[in-house]
A and B are shown apart, each in its own frame.
Chain A
Amino acid sequence: MVRSPVHIAALIAASLACSAHADELVPYTIVGDSIPQSLTGAPGDAARGRALVLARTTTCILCHSGPFPETRFQGDLAPDLTGAGNRWSASQLRLRLVDASRFNAETIMPSYYRNDGLVRVGRNFAGKPILSAAEIEDIVAFLATLRD
């Protein structure tokens, strides 16, 4: 079957739209020091969030320590996560993960849900946030359970 040029162009346009969509961030609304609404529209899964915090690829544990007796290699560049759920609400935790630089422009904590305004991003990471919306929600759900 021979496809018409228009048909092919439409396919290309559709695939471009899809790949562009994959890199697009979910819009969110900041209220005060919080993002009250879940980025996915659903609550995260705390068990998955705990696994994510401990996975080196999310980078959390490189700088933070926390109540994770099974992990020897924890960082001390950033506050201990123990009691994070006492100190912050889920909405506050969400904004801190999405864009910590909003609270302190000099912070070393990356903005985990951002994909622009960055310099020389590696090819495999260009245009992508460090964490997906779903991963952020899982981590927020887990951190909110960290109560003394």
Chain B
Amino acid sequence: MIFWRAIAAAILLVTAPALLAGEIPPDARRSGYSFMGPDTRAMQDDDTSNPGMLFVLDGEALWSKKTGDAGKACADCHGDARSGMKGVAARYPAFDKALARPVTLDQRINLCRANHQQATPLPYESRDLLALSAYVAHQSRGISIAAGDDPQLKPFVDQGRDLFMQREGQLNLACTNCHDDNFDKRLAGAPITQAQPTGYPLYRLEWQTLGSIERRLRSCMSGVRAQAYDYGSPELVALELYLMSRARGLPMETPAVRP
């Protein structure tokens, strides 16, 4: 009996996705929402008080607005986003066959603009790109994150994990030092979260605006006094991909509100 149990346990160990030392087990993963105070939670929960919803509304208008030399709107190809875009953001970043690398939702929007609308790319963190991104991601609210499944993504997920574990900057700290090993403790009085990217783009009270995960990553990098990677760089995309695959199963919250 014990023998068979040992074999069963061994099989489980072999078949379960390998967790590296320090990584958070799936059933212990928590959204940043659970680290916030009641006021900020209430602000996110009520669409009439969630400032991110203003961007979602802007994005809805942009979705059906014709743009570029092709004179096409997103809706002309994709139809109603409420059905067509449901669950899409929960699978991003996704592998792009033509580019042979993962692309973020922001990059997908700009690829669509270039290839199908013949429009100029929207700059990173511009109001229109955040609004479109928020509108598309909002269609996945409540849907479980399922990014990183495509086997072609594996080397990029691994690259993101390596970057997450890499100490950097003058303070010589890695993401994992805080967000795997010390979440729930306080850094200068503020709770440290697990860095689960469930609600991007999200409204950060500190920023007084909506922002992307890349902005958040760059801000942490500056915090450890490292040279932040550029917007859209392969490193930031890999980190976003790793974080989304690490948040597997957590529901999307876009637009989240965070302190």
Contacts and interface: CB of A to CB of B under 8 A. Distances in A.
A122 B188 contact: no
Contacts of A125: 169-170, 225
Main secondary structure of the interface of B (DSSP, over half): loop
B185 interface: yes
Contact of B172 (A61, A72, A111): A111
A143 B131 CA distance: 50
A110 B169 CA distance: 10
A75 B172 contact: no
A47 interface: no
A57 B176 CA distance: 22
Contacts of A77: 178, 182, 185-187, 192
B172 A118 contact: yes
A120 B189 contact: no
Interface string A52-78: 000010010111000000001111110
A74 B190 CA distance: 9
B36 interface: no
B222 interface: yes
Contacts, number: 71
A118 B225 CA distance: 11
Interface residues of A, number: 24
B188 A61 contact: yes
B213 to A, nearest CB: 19
Nearest to B166: A119
B167 interface: yes
B229 to A, nearest CB: 9
A130 B171 contact: yes
Contacts of A56: 188
A50 to B, nearest CB: 17
A11 interface: no
Nearest to A119: B168
A72 B190 CA distance: 11
Interface of A: 56, 59, 61-63, 72-77, 108, 110-111, 118-125, 128, 130
Given A120-B227, A122-B227, A125-B225, A59 B185 contact: no
Contacts of A74: 186, 188-189
B177 A108 contact: yes
12 contacts: A61-B188, A73-B190, A75-B187, A75-B188, A108-B182, A110-B173, A118-B170, A120-B169, A121-B170, A122-B170, A122-B225, A125-B225
Given A62-B188, A77-B182, A118-B168, 10 more contacts: A73-B189, A74-B189, A77-B187, A108-B178, A110-B172, A118-B172, A119-B168, A120-B169, A120-B226, A122-B226
- Chain B interface extent, by class: 20 to 34
Interface string B185-199: 111111010000000
Contacts of B170: 110, 118, 121-122, 125, 128, 130
A61 to B, nearest CB: 7
Contacts of B222: 122
B219 to A, nearest CB: 12
Nearest to B235: A120
A122 B222 CA distance: 7
A75 B171 contact: no
A74 to B, nearest CB: 6
Interface in B211-231: 222, 225-228
Contacts of B225: 121-122, 124-125
Query: Which 4 A-B residue pairings sit nearest by Cβ, starting from the closest?
Result: A73-B189, A125-B170, A119-B168, A62-B188
Given A119-B226, A121-B225, A110 B171 contact: yes
